[in-house]
Amino acid sequence: MIGLKEALALPPEEVAALRSDLIARAKERSDLNAYIDLATSGTGVPIAIKDNINVKGWEITCASAILQGYIAPYDATAIEKLRQAGLAPLGRTNMDEFAMGSSTETSHYGKTLNPHDPTRVPGGSSGGSAAAVAAGIAIAALGSDTGGSIRQPAAFCGIVGMKPTYGRVSRYGLIAYGSSLDQIGPMTRSVEDAAILYNIIAGHDPKDSTSAPIPHQPISPEPDRTLRIGVVPNYVAQTSQAIQKAYQEAIQALEGAGHTIVEVEMMDAKYKIAAYYITAMAEASTNLSRYDGVRYGKRVEASSLKEMYKATRSQFGKEVQRRILLGTFVLSSGYYDAYYIKAQKARNLIQQEYAKLFQQVDLILTPVAPDVAFPFGSKKEPLEMYLSDLFTIGVNLAGLPAISLPIQEYEGLPVGLQLIAKAFDEKTLFDGAASLEREVAYKGVGQ
């Protein structure tokens, strides 16, 4: 399977043939359940799109029963930019319902399988996008990252997943989960392809009030640039043997490439988990309140207005209902100060910690998850699942850019790590990632 760079150089007739080939492959691998549906026609290099990004004229459901039948009335800004660059949507990829999950098990359309091992999760919430790219039924995809939802599935499926700085890519047309956390980003087979797709979708958008009014300069990764890279032993100590082994290999590879390794210490990740889930659930409660069957959402007819609200909102899955309830609780009178305000104070401390660390180093290397892809059904308690995000959520709370890339395989499963950069320093992020990618030379499914 060719990469994005090669696909963009194809003549129109070969692009059409590429779309047909990808659709045929996707149908052959329908067992993965990576796609919700496919577009059999389109003009441009085909790119898979997560089912929470508006594509005009397509159904968009966020993998939820409550939005079934809703047709997007406009293109998201990211989709407009794809079209302008000669790309076109290929299909809607499966996801955790309303992006709430770390395994793509909460989708109304059923779970997506990991191409490396069908008994294990592909990660989430962008699991469909990650599985499609890893299985060679997409050359690249767009995902969204609220607390690691691009980077964690990329790590589990053995591909590259990049979360831009908050405000660098427009959120206009992305159905909101946590408005102060969400970002659209690329999921590809290589760092170079991730940079290409990032360059296409990045930039200021006046339609998005959170879009940063900072000019975007196209980035080309330079793997020969030497950097100071921070490593975090106190985080690595909390991970499995597979992650620790990959981490040591990555450090050796970076040292071999001439980078300076600097040991740093970060605050206990449990504080980040607490601050993140309070913040995310509060914002989810607010954002999803509109789905009431009157303004938005598939209405369920009932004998009274109250019953109609209840029946309509009962279409939300259990995990979405849980987060709405918890978010409403932390925003309620009497608990707002005790929970939400404290979470915002903790968020500020997390941002300050990163700012201080980036005075010492150019990049920080951390795990993406505590372990490799876990078996379906193995995390039955919500808190177990939430801990999958232990090492990714701090990046979203601080609004920083980060990239996950595969380092090696452990018993047939990919092991990914992430690099983190300071805000709006995607250039350094891609330079470091390109260097690490060249040194480890990972080869896996679809590579």
**Distance in angstroms (rounded) separating the CA atoms of residues 292 and 281:** 18
Token digits for 149?
A: 């939802």
Q: Which pLDDT score is estimated for 445?
A: 46
Domains and CATH numbers, the chain: 4-233+248-261+356-440 (3.90.1300.10), 269-350 (no CATH)
Give the tens place of pLDDT for each residue, 232-266.
Answer: 999 999 999 999 999 999 999 999 999 999 999 99
Is-contact 76 326, C-beta < 8 A?
no
Return the residue matching tokens 């087979």.
189
Report, as ranges of residue numbers, the positions in the chain whose pLDDT lies below 50. Answer: 445-447
Q: Which pLDDT score is estimated for 135?
A: 97
Is-contact 142 200, C-beta < 8 A?
no
170 sits in the region (left: phi over 0; alpha: psi -120 to 50; else beta) called beta
Q: Annotated active-site positions, please? A: 50, 125, 149
Is-contact 207 194, C-beta < 8 A?
no
Query: 3-state SS string over 13-71?
Result: HHHHHHHHHHHHHHHHCHHHCCEEEECCCCCCEEEEEECCECCCCCECCCCCHHHCCCE
Q: Which pLDDT score is estimated for 255?
A: 97
CB atoms within 10 A of CB 314: 11
Token digits for 287?
A: 């954002």
Q: Which pLDDT score is estimated for 50?
A: 98
Is-contact 150 125, C-beta < 8 A?
no
Beta bridge partners of 144: 184
Number of residues that make up the chain = 447
Beta bridge partners of 92: 37, 49
